Structure 1
Amino acid sequence: MKTWSTHSGYQLLRILGGRSNVFLLSNGRADILIDTSPKFMWPGLRNRLNRKGICHIDYLILTHSHFDHANNARQIMELYGAKVIVHKAEADLLSSGKMLIPEGSNAFTRMIVRFFGPMFSSIIACEPCEPDLLVADRLDLQDFGFNAYILHTPGHSPGSLSVIIDDEIALVGDAMVGVFPWSVYPPFLEDHKQLIESWGKLLATGCSWFIPSHGSANSRMLVEKCFARIIKRTNQ
């Protein structure tokens, strides 16, 4: 389980990896879980939480409502007492258990969505879960005991959120991927323009590391290079 520490002494633990990353943020008094993984990973997630001695989770932040992030939200809420936080644009999707299939960002992923999207959407419905707190543009976590905040970073989905911790680490959900050494551009998204604007917002935080839900952490240098390359291509 990979761990990061910030200058305020917060511990960020990647408590589950593989298909989707799940993170646990702790200040020694409160615990925040970020995302919940797809349903088939629930036994592994629960086992990891139990091994860490986690009996109560104060808040669950969902970076968005897609199945591989929100599918176990109801279990986390019911078993660990977590209050669920999601962007207001995706609250109804979470409450109903429905999921919108994002568009592909390249020829291959567009083909996947075109041929398998309708079938996929019926398979990956989530258990309905009522959120407790809704985010608009930003939600400060100072009252929760953390020098951190939640930032609206749409593009991959309308209500995508990122968590900015100590202005050092950004948990970016699917706004980026950490799979390729040359690019952080996600294979699926709703709005390219919004995504690039969100990258600009994330870089403006001053964070050194941008940790996605799929793959490994991205350095600031890599994100800046990808951002500059896309801006240059857009302006040509």
Structure 2
Amino acid sequence: MKTWTTQNSTIYQILEGRSNSFLINSQNNYILIDTGRKNSWKDLNNKVEEILVKDKLSGLILTHTHFDHAENAAKIKEKYGSTILTHKNESDYLKQGNSPLPKGTNLATGFMVNAFGKHVQSRYSYEPADPDIFVDEEYNLHNFGFNACVIHTPGHSKGSMSVIIDSEIAIVGDAMFGVFGNSVYPPFADDPETMVKSWNKLINTNCNLFLPGHGKEINRKLLKNQYEKHK
């Protein structure tokens, strides 16, 4: 299991592959970031239990409510009693268990969404869950025992958020992808121009490492280069 450390926290990569999920520990306080797809529940739950032992999973932060990040949210809340944090713009989607699919950012993905999006939308519904905390522009996680905060980084979706840990590492959901070598540009985003502005917002946090919802970690130099290219 891959891990990263900051001044006050340890970050565990719980799921990898199609969708990433991360668990943050600070002095035996734990928060989960995203939950992956429902077919990953067994792996997700086993790894969380392995780390938690007898400690409590106090929070679940959803970087956004697309199916591949939120399908296990209801199960996490039911099993662990975790407080769920979503952006206020997407809280209703989680309650409905259905979040609109994002638009394509290139010819291929744009064609896919336009041609098939409406027809397959119902396939990506999931078990609804009730969020507890509605984030606006920023939410401090001190009450959960972390030197961390959640910030609004829209563009991929209107309620996309990132988690800033000790101003060292950011968990960024689909604000960027770590799949395409020297590019961080996602194949899907509702508002690419706003997404690029969110990159600058993340650069200004002074974090040196960015952990995306898909693919590998992204360093600060690559993100800055991509921002300069696309701004």
Give the TM-score normalised by the residue count of structure 2: 0.97
Higher mean C-alpha deviation, range 48-57 or range 221-230: 48-57
Residues in 2 aligned to 1:210 and 1:17: alpha-carbon distance in whole angstroms:
15
Residues in 2 aligned to 1:118 and 1:13: alpha-carbon distance in whole angstroms:
36
Structure 1 residue 230, shift from structure 2 partner: 1.0
Residues in 2 aligned to 1:148 and 1:50: alpha-carbon distance in whole angstroms:
23
Higher mean C-alpha deviation, range 52-61 or range 119-128: 52-61
Residues in 2 aligned to 1:98 and 1:175: alpha-carbon distance in whole angstroms:
20
Q: Does 1:71 align with 2:78?
A: no
* One-letter amino acid of the counterpart of residue 192, structure 2: H
SS at match of 1:188: coil
Structure 1 residue 192, shift from structure 2 partner: 1.4
Matched residue, 2:136 = 136
Q: Deviations over 1:134-173 (max 9, x none)?
A: 0000001112211110000000000000000010001000
Matched residue, 1:19 = 18
Q: Deviations over 1:57-106 (max 9, x none)?
A: 10000000000001100000000110100000000010011110110000
Residues in 2 aligned to 1:166 and 1:27: alpha-carbon distance in whole angstroms:
11
Matched residue, 1:39 = 38
Q: Deviations over 1:163-209 (max 9, x none)?
A: 00010001000000001121101100000121011111000000000
SS at match of 1:189: coil
Residues in 1 aligned to 2:47 and 2:26: alpha-carbon distance in whole angstroms:
18
List structure 1 runs of 4+ shifted beyond 4 angstroms.
Answer: none
Residues in 1 aligned to 2:84 and 2:78: alpha-carbon distance in whole angstroms:
11
Higher mean C-alpha deviation, range 14-23 or range 150-159: 14-23
RMSD of aligned residue pairs (Cα, Å): 1.0
Residues in 1 aligned to 2:88 and 2:25: alpha-carbon distance in whole angstroms:
25
- Count the aligned residue pairs: 230
Residues in 2 aligned to 1:119 and 1:210: alpha-carbon distance in whole angstroms:
34
Matched residue, 1:4 = 4
Residues in 2 aligned to 1:150 and 1:165: alpha-carbon distance in whole angstroms:
9
* One-letter amino acid of the counterpart of residue 110, structure 1: G
Q: Does 1:229 align with 2:229?
A: yes
Structure 1 residue 28, shift from structure 2 partner: 2.4
Residues in 2 aligned to 1:29 and 1:99: alpha-carbon distance in whole angstroms:
33
Matched residue, 1:85 = 85
* One-letter amino acid of the counterpart of residue 24, structure 1: L
Q: Describe how 1:116-127 pairs up with structure 2 within 5 A.
A: 116-127=116-127
Structure 1 residue 29, shift from structure 2 partner: 2.5
Residues in 2 aligned to 1:222 and 1:38: alpha-carbon distance in whole angstroms:
28
Residues in 2 aligned to 1:180 and 1:192: alpha-carbon distance in whole angstroms:
17
Matched residue, 1:234 = none
Residues in 1 aligned to 2:50 and 2:107: alpha-carbon distance in whole angstroms:
42
SS at match of 1:44: helix
Residues in 2 aligned to 1:88 and 1:46: alpha-carbon distance in whole angstroms:
27
- Equivalent pairs: percent with the same residue? 46
Distance 1:108 1:69, change over 3 A: same
Distance 1:54 1:186, change over 3 A: farther
* One-letter amino acid of the counterpart of residue 223, structure 2: V
Matched residue, 2:184 = 184
Matched residue, 1:171 = 171
Matched residue, 1:95 = 95
Structure 1 residue 54, shift from structure 2 partner: 4.3
In structure 1, stretches of 5+ residues that fail to align are 232-236
Give the TM-score normalised by the residue count of structure 1: 0.95
Matched residue, 1:219 = 219
Matched residue, 1:205 = 205
Q: Deviations over 1:115-147 (max 9, x none)?
A: 221122100101110000000000011122111
